[in-house]
Amino acid sequence: AGSVSRGADGGLTVGGVSVRELKEQFGTPLFVMDEADFRARARAFKDSFDAAFADICGGVDVYYAGKSFLCTAVVKWVEEEGLRLDTASGGELAVAARAGIAGSRVALHGNNKSDAEINRALDMGLGRIVVDSLDELVRVGDLAQARGAQAKVMLRLTPGVHAHTHEFIATAHEDQKFGLSMAADTTAEAGISAAEEAVAAAAAHPGIELLGLHCHIGSQIFEPDGFALAAEKLLRFLAAMQEKYSITMPELDLGGGYGIAYTPVDTPRPAAEIATAMAAVVRSTCAELGIDAPRISIEPGRAIVGSTTFTLYEVGTLKTVRVDAPAAGSDAGNNVTYPRRYVSVDGGMSDNARPVLYDADYSAVLASRTSGAAPQLSRVVGKHCESGDIVVRDVYLPEDVAAGDLLAVPGTGAYCWALSSNYNYLARPGVVAVRDGSARLIVRGETEEDLLNRDMGA
């Protein structure tokens, strides 16, 4: 988070609030979000993309991807900083509605939207429904037509750009559940792609206003090349479709996926650098094709919220084991042993499933005090009944870390609370926003009563 420092007592202070006070007031585990940092990162995306694309399409619409972390307070901040909101389900739409954001500034995603979700989107007058399949296109069109309306639709395409964290490879076909394939289908009657079929169907459906095209190439991506390549592919397709079907598609959404640093080995690029690289390709491709540039939009989630938040845990049980490992450069059998200390905290995979799901790496610091003790190789683990319940695989923590100390695990703003569960009947933690020396609970933690609420009795 942006404003973390050490207070006079040696404990961490964030947004002017000490973690020891936070522990007193709200308990642990606790998600601690720096509101000013969130707002600054949201603004940085909006400002740098606006600047980079000003001469191309007058600016960029930034849709914050609510799936990364969503509650009504965050929707307010997003709105106040001039962003829009991207949702992925009826539940996320319900949060948007509760927050009171204008439907025209909200988008809906999903590869399997129910009729109820589509109707809710139409009721709310959503700015865009991102259609994922031919089947859904017809359902959306029919539902809108039945109420004498037109649904504003973007088509999600798979441009065949496989983006991994550090590299991307271009392939002809995307073998995945999302989106309409751009590869020509030789088995189809006309030999056209699913993407083209969808454009033709959308243009012809009276219940649909076709706004344009969308793609999302992946997540936690550092290099701008993949985004730029996808933009180029979509622009070429957009130009060809405009010509062939005599239509205009005024919008192009290039999705989210901008990476953040979880540990020092991660080297994400600043938003401005990515924006500039993407703008260069959009500018030159549109010029080459001789088309007016469509209005560009993006959908960052992680890169806005991820680094604004840390999880505060209390240390409980400690134990040290000796680990056997082959000595560096030696033959098998010539082993060395070294100590590894297990530091258990009062949460774990129920509040951060990412290490288990993606082998994600985090770091941890002693938050409640400073210590001059020697660093000791430690593994921070949760309290769940699984040996894979690891919070931080390897981290050096002071030798004198003891029960009752507080640990902070940074970078937990995105896809941690959002993916949290009640495994082992643990209550999901609350989220507190700190700002200018005060702390406000924006999502309360669950209570034991919440946990038992839905149990219908024996």
Residues 36-95 that bind ligand LLP (CB under 6 A): 65, 67-68, 86
Token pair, residue 2, equals 């942006």
Q: How far is CA 188 from CA 179, 183, 196, 407, in A?
A: 17, 11, 11, 58
Q: Could you say which DSSP state residue 336 is in?
A: E
Nearer to ligand LLP, 23 or 216 (CB): 216
Start-to-end C-alpha separation, the chain:
46
Q: Which phi and psi angles does 336 have, rounded to 5°?
A: -115, 155
DSSP strand E in 346-405: where? 365-366, 375-381, 390-398
Residues 184-223 that bind ligand LLP (CB under 6 A): 216, 219-220
Token pair, residue 1, equals 């988070």
Q: Is 358 annotated as a binding residue?
A: yes
Q: How far is CA 227 from CA 32, 43, 50, 167, 377, in A?
A: 31, 20, 17, 11, 38
- CB contact burial 361-383 (16+ within 10 A = b; e otherwise): bbbbebbbbebeeeebebbbbbb
Provide the mask over 397-416, with x wherever binding to ligand LLP is found by CB under 6 A and - wherever it is not: -----------------xx-
CB of 362 to ligand LLP, least distance (A): 12
CB of 244 to ligand LLP, least distance (A): 26
Residue 110 sits in the site that holds ligand LLP (CB under 6 A): no
Q: Is 415 annotated as a binding residue?
A: yes
Provide the mask over 354-383, with x wherever binding to ligand LLP is found by CB under 6 A and - wherever it is not: x---x-------------------------
Q: How far apart are CA 158 and CA 132, in angstroms?
A: 10
Nearer to ligand LLP, 299 or 346 (CB): 299
Token pair, residue 315, equals 């240390």
Q: Is 301 annotated as a binding residue?
A: yes
Nearer to ligand LLP, 89 or 219 (CB): 219
Residue 128 sits in the site that holds ligand LLP (CB under 6 A): no
Residues 247-306 that bind ligand LLP (CB under 6 A): 255-258, 299-303
Q: Is 21 annotated as a binding residue?
A: no
- Under 8 Å between Cβ of 161 and 230: yes
Instruction: From the candidates 57, 215, 286, 385, give the one annotated as an active-site residue.
Output: 385
Residue 57 a catalytic site member: no
**Count, residues near ligand LLP per rule CB under 6 A:** 21
The binding site for ligand LLP (CB under 6 A) comprises 65, 67-68, 86, 109, 216, 219-220, 255-258, 299-303, 354, 358, 414-415
User: Which active-site residues does the annotation give?
Assistant: 385
Binding-site members are: 257, 299-302, 354, 358, 386, 415
